[in-house]
Amino acid sequence: MKQAAESVSIRGVEKSFGRTKVLKGVDLAIEREEFVILLGPSGCGKTTLLRIVAGLERAEAGEIWISDRRVDPLEPKERNVAMVFQSYALYPHMNVFNNQSFSLRLRHTPKDEIRARVHQAAKTLGLEQLLERYPRELSGGQRQRVSMGRAIVRSPKVFLFDEPLSNLDAQLRVHMRGEIKELHHHLNTTSIYVTHDQVEAMTMGDRIVVMNGGIIEQIGSPLEVFDKPKNRFVAGFVGSPAMNFIDGELATNGSRLVLRVPGQAPVPLGEAGTRRTSGPATIGIRPHHLRIVGDGPLRGTVKDVQPTGVETILLCRWADSEILIQTTDRVLVSAGEDINVSADPADIHLFDSETGERLDA
């Protein structure tokens, strides 16, 4: 069932539906055996991009290459790409065995080989007992597995996953996450995986591609994207709870850079090594980087305290700004109290207020 994996190259792909431009020039090179995550808000074009790679949709401009073969003029079945749909899309009139063997039967694969391959896939996915069942007789998790099995038996060159776990409950999702990852290593295929689940994106992928409004905002390893978001959108989208943003004016205080926030003490930003030392800017601080300290520069009123056991989330407000603080300490503040918070300058991200581009290195 193993097969040399292939690289995928998406070059300048554009797509419109009617007058709306859904993909505005997407370039993405995926290495062989890589597991790439497409992450982005609803409607940003993730599914559309996946469908273009699969051949279910035609792009107006751009090319799709699988290894050294240009595939965008080809029919879906000639691309040797398998897709796992969010809805599973199992054939309701076929039992599990026939669902999985359908593609092989269409290609007139010898019966013995079909049997062997389906049983192999069923073993990998723990479906051996279910081969005679019909989709309506399966649970959600089992259906999900069958739809993966259907993709595996074909030994495709490229696997496409479109939010395959979003219909499962939380526990099963964690379990299947592990299974898909294991499967990926086991089969050595190249995979593109669409999700808008933060945890899935962070834990499963070799690289994350953050999309927004039909363009790619950033490509990088999960930690790169998390630690060095290229712009304000990525910073705000990746990570949960989301990053806090505070607007202000850049200024220098000796050799140090600070952000002046109306009604607050200047927030120290470290050495003035950035591209700019004045003008409007936005800082981003992740909730878990904020600490409650008596002499912190930012002062606000606690509006809500949400203890979850492991950690506590505080909602803090001043003027018309609102920030979240996430801490594993057992904090002894209650709603209505005023607190001061600060963050290590190294943990503060700096963005241009207008373009949203990252300013610090």
From the list 39, 312, 74, the residue with the least C-alpha distance to 197 is: 39
Task: Work out whether 85 is an interface residue with another protein (CB under 8 A).
Answer: yes
Report long-range pairs for 14-17 (Cβ below 8 Å, ≥24 apart).
14/59, 14/60, 14/61, 14/62, 15/45, 15/48, 15/52, 15/57, 15/59, 15/60, 16/60
Beta-carbon contacts of 223 under 8 Å, excluding residues fewer than 6 positions away, are none
* Spatial separation of the C-alpha atoms in residues 229 and 82, rounded to whole Å: 32
Q: Is 147 left (phi over 0), alpha (psi -120 to 50) or beta?
A: alpha
**With respect to another protein, which residue has the nearer C-beta, 166 or 321?**
166
Binding partner of residue 226 among another protein, Mg ion, ligand ATP, none, CB under 5 to 8 Å per kind? none
The nearest distance, CB 358 to another protein, in angstroms, is 38
Q: Do 62 and 14 meet the contact criterion of CB atoms below 8 Å apart?
A: yes
Stretch that binds another protein, among 79-87, 196-204, 220-228, 291-299 (CB under 8 A): 79-87
The nearest distance, CB 80 to ligand ATP, in angstroms, is 23
From the list 341, 251, 359, 255, the residue with the least C-alpha distance to 298 is: 341
* Residue 50: strand, helix, or coil: helix
**With respect to another protein, which residue has the nearer C-beta, 85 or 318?**
85
User: Which residues of this chain interact with ligand ATP, rule CB under 6 A?
Assistant: 17, 22, 40, 42-48, 196
DSSP-derived pairing of the beta strands 8-17 and 20-30: antiparallel
Extract the tokens encoding 131. 């081969």
The nearest distance, CB 191 to Mg ion, in angstroms, is 16
Stretch that binds another protein, among 16-24, 84-92, 203-211, 296-304 (CB under 8 A): 84-92
Out of 9, 47, 231, 244, which residue is the one contacting Mg ion (CB under 5 A)? Answer: 47
Q: Do 83 and 50 meet the contact criterion of CB atoms below 8 Å apart?
A: yes
Task: Work out whether 83 is an interface residue with another protein (CB under 8 A).
Answer: yes
Task: Work out whether 102 is an interface residue with another protein (CB under 8 A).
Answer: yes
The nearest distance, CB 275 to ligand ATP, in angstroms, is 32
Binding partner of residue 254 among ligand ATP, Mg ion, another protein, none, CB under 5 to 8 Å per kind? none
How far the first Cα of the chain sits from its last, in Å, is 45
* Spatial separation of the C-alpha atoms in residues 327 and 89, rounded to whole Å: 43
Task: Work out whether 195 is an interface residue with Mg ion (CB under 5 A).
Answer: no
Task: Work out whether 77 is an interface residue with another protein (CB under 8 A).
Answer: yes
The nearest distance, CB 64 to ligand ATP, in angstroms, is 16
* Residue 106: strand, helix, or coil: helix
**With respect to another protein, which residue has the nearer C-beta, 133 or 288?**
133
* Spatial separation of the C-alpha atoms in residues 195 and 237, rounded to whole Å: 13
Give the footprint of another protein on residues 49-68 (CB under 8 A): 51, 54-56
**With respect to ligand ATP, which residue has the nearer C-beta, 41 or 263?**
41
Amino acid at 21: K
Task: Work out whether 106 is an interface residue with another protein (CB under 8 A).
Answer: yes
Binding partner of residue 82 among another protein, ligand ATP, Mg ion, none, CB under 5 to 8 Å per kind? another protein
Task: Work out whether 74 is an interface residue with another protein (CB under 8 A).
Answer: no
For binding to another protein (CB under 8 A), which residues are involved?
51, 54-56, 75-77, 81-83, 85-89, 91-93, 102-103, 106-107, 150, 154
For binding to Mg ion (CB under 5 A), which residues are involved?
47
